[in-house]
Amino acid sequence: MSDSKKLTLDEIKARVRVVCICKGIKMSRICDAVQAGCTTVEEVNKATGSGNGGCGATRCRPVIEQIIKNGGRPPTSTIQITDDDSDPDDSF
């Protein structure tokens, strides 16, 4: 891996973060899908299973969009994933 492709410590830590809370999909899986050629949120969702949980991608979409903008690298700043109390998946 060339120096330009090496991940920073913060990026490595970010890759273990869950992006799609409803489905438990980690950032590493989202990043890998973008690096494999996914260029839209819909393509990432289809490839990873993200975005089809109880929130309808309202929580993970902003993070996925940022990862796509970054060419498959984790976001450089923290994007707040909202915790909506009305999520039907939280009612168990």
In a domain, 1, yes or no: no
In a domain, 90, yes or no: no
Separation between Cα atoms, residue 61 and residue 82, nearest integer Å: 11
Domain that holds residue 70: 22-77
In a domain, 29, yes or no: yes
In a domain, 11, yes or no: no
- CATH number for the domain harbouring residue 63: 1.10.10.1100
Percent of the chain with pLDDT over 70: 77
The pLDDT score that the predictor gives to residue 6 is 80
In a domain, 14, yes or no: no
Give long-range contacts, CB 8 A cutoff, 24+ apart: 9-18. Answer: 10/74, 11/73, 11/74, 14/74, 14/75, 15/74, 17/74
| Angle of helix 27-35 versus helix 41-48 axis, rounded to 10 | 120
The pLDDT score that the predictor gives to residue 82 is 46
Number of domains in the chain: 1
Which segments in the chain show pLDDT lower than 70?
A: 1-4, 77-92
Separation between Cα atoms, residue 68 and residue 90, nearest integer Å: 28
